Amino acid sequence: MERVSAPGFAVSEILAKGRESAARLHAMLDQQQLPEISTMPHELQDLVEQILHCCDRALAALSGSMGKKRKPERGGPADLPSTTRSKRLRVSGGERGIRVEKKWTMEDGFAWRKYGQKNIHGSKHPRLYFRCSYNDDNGCRARRQVQQSEADPSVYIITYFDEHSCCMGTSLVGNDEKVEKFVINFGSAGIMDGELNGSPSSTCDDDGLVVCEKPDLCNSPEELQGAMDHDEKVEKFVINFGSAGIMDGELNGSPSSTCDDDGLVVCEKPDLCNSPEELQAAMDHEAAELLEQSTPVLEELGMSSPWWQPLAGGCLEWEVGHCENLFYIGESIDIDSLLQ
DNA sequence: CAAATTTGACCCCG
DNA sequence: CGGGGTCAAATTTG
């Protein structure tokens, strides 16, 4: 990883703040928390989407220009002439992706490059094909397909294939739709390099999750508050419920929430794998529980976040802010340390 | 002018 | 053979 220049850092901070505010507004609109403007929620939603999109793009562009540069040409020496296209790679029919439904937006914080569009038999809306923008640089094989829902055109059905190897975000995809592990972490948004908010480190853990740790904020609410007050670098936290992809056989035991060596709160959910409905119900319950437990402490700290609620939807969607597995919240906290 | 998107063609697979 | 995924030239965008 390359270091970020000070001006770049400052700009990214400002952008991240703007984005964060937009995400909050977005969430409030989603939950109709602003009744006085509910007469034109769609226009407002669109505006917020645009703001978020602009921030995403700016951040992606910034992080790209600071650490990476796109290659203009694809393929290189290995690029095949058109006569040898028969050797082109093709997705095997059995490949499975993770399906996520998002309302109003197909944005997920990652930088995607569209490479195709296809009208699908029996579907009103075309299917859009995207690959990671860093495919060229890092050989990142992450892809996604986006299609508007037939039933509700405001819903985008996004199917993810392959994991990001570019470390530009958290792992959302795996080879199985089951989700057995959630990680709550402190760190920068997945769309940014770890260094962008002064995070001491940015690493990929065993599950391929990008972990931007803030272990020094896990010790106590006072310490956390102090850091928030005095460390201007800490302007954004993310609670990340990224799917870790199915791992080998550790699907027993009860749900637990622990702080690991890195100060991450790891909540394992081995018993939520039976069905999307079951998962959703359990996630809702978990969210409500966490919210209930943390609200008094949050209020005490002046950090209450009333928009922090789970949404109904697909098995992976538990949205607060913008991305389906990235929860953009102004002031996230370590639940365990607060409850101590 | 470089990067991103569009879109028709190509190719694989069921 | 047709549907769907990908390629890559052409076009658009910034």
Q: Does some domain include residue A1?
A: no
Nucleic strand C near CB of residue A53 (< 7 Å): no
Q: Does some domain include residue A73?
A: no
Better-predicted residue by pLDDT, A258 or A44: A44
pLDDT in tens, A118-144: 999 888 899 999 998 887 777 788 899
Name the residue closest to the C1' of B4 by its CA. A113
Name the residue closest to the C1' of B13 by its CA. A93
- How many helical (H) and strand (E) elements, i.e. helices and strands, does chain A have? 6, 12
- The DSSP secondary-structure symbol of A115 reads E
Q: Does some domain include residue A297?
A: yes
Considering the domain architecture, whether residues A101 and A62 belong to the same structural domain is answered as no
- Asked whether residue A36 carries a pLDDT value surpassing 50, the answer given is yes
Closest nucleotide to A121 by C1' from CA = C3
Considering the domain architecture, whether residues A241 and A301 belong to the same structural domain is answered as yes
Q: Does some domain include residue A75?
A: no
Q: Phi and psi of A239, rounded to 5°? A: -95, 120
Is the torsion defined by CA of A244, A250, A253, A259 positive or negative? negative
Considering the domain architecture, whether residues A164 and A29 belong to the same structural domain is answered as no
Q: Does some domain include residue A76?
A: no
Closest nucleotide to A91 by C1' from CA = C5
Residue A241's nearest CA partner among A168, A320, A175 is: A320
Q: Does some domain include residue A42?
A: yes
Domain boundary residue, one of A67, A84, A112 = A67
Considering the domain architecture, whether residues A111 and A53 belong to the same structural domain is answered as no
**Half-sphere exposure at residue A90, Cβ-oriented, CA atoms within 13 angstroms:** 7
pLDDT in tens, A140-194: 888 999 998 888 888 888 888 887 777 544 433 333 322 222 222 222 223 222 2
Q: Which of residues 40-79 of A touch strand B (CB under 7 A)?
A: 69-70, 72
Q: Which of residues 248-267 of A touch strand B (CB under 7 A)?
A: none
Q: How far is the CA of A335 from the C1' of B12 (A)?
A: 50
Considering the domain architecture, whether residues A53 and A150 belong to the same structural domain is answered as no
Q: Does some domain include residue A251?
A: yes
Average pLDDT of every residue of chain A = 49
pLDDT value of position A42? 62
Q: Which nucleotides of B are covered by protein (CB under 7 A)?
A: 2-14
Per the CB < 8 A criterion, the answer to whether A59 and A14 are in contact is no
pLDDT in tens, A205-217: 322 222 222 322 2
Distance, in Å, from the CA atom of A194 to the CA atom of A230, rounded to the nearest integer, reads: 20
Domain boundary residue, one of A47, A67, A87 = A67
Domain that holds residue A188: 95-339
pLDDT value of position A141? 82
Q: How far is the CA of A167 from the C1' of B11 (A)?
A: 32
Considering the domain architecture, whether residues A263 and A164 belong to the same structural domain is answered as yes
> Can you tell me whether residue A217 is helix, strand or coil?
helix
- Asked whether residue A225 carries a pLDDT value surpassing 60, the answer given is no
Q: How far is the CA of A53 from the C1' of B7 (A)?
A: 25
Considering the domain architecture, whether residues A267 and A307 belong to the same structural domain is answered as yes
Considering the domain architecture, whether residues A182 and A296 belong to the same structural domain is answered as yes
Considering the domain architecture, whether residues A188 and A59 belong to the same structural domain is answered as no
As for how many domains chain A has, the answer is 2
Distance, in Å, from the CA atom of A213 to the CA atom of A257, rounded to the nearest integer, reads: 17
Query: Pairing relation of β-strands A143-148 and A155-161?
Result: antiparallel
Better-predicted residue by pLDDT, A192 or A50: A50
Q: How far is the CA of A136 from the C1' of C13 (A)?
A: 21
- Asked whether residue A47 carries a pLDDT value surpassing 60, the answer given is yes
Q: Does some domain include residue A291?
A: yes
Domain boundary residue, one of A18, A51, A67 = A67
Q: Which of A106-110, A284-288, A299-303, A328-332 has the lowest mean pLDDT?
A: A328-332
Considering the domain architecture, whether residues A48 and A100 belong to the same structural domain is answered as no
Closest nucleotide to A119 by C1' from CA = C4
Distance, in Å, from the CA atom of A191 to the CA atom of A58, rounded to the nearest integer, reads: 10
Considering the domain architecture, whether residues A101 and A161 belong to the same structural domain is answered as yes
Q: Which of A33-37, A125-129, A235-239, A274-278 has the lowest mean pLDDT?
A: A235-239
Q: Which nucleotides of C are covered by protein (CB under 7 A)?
A: 2-9
Considering the domain architecture, whether residues A10 and A138 belong to the same structural domain is answered as no
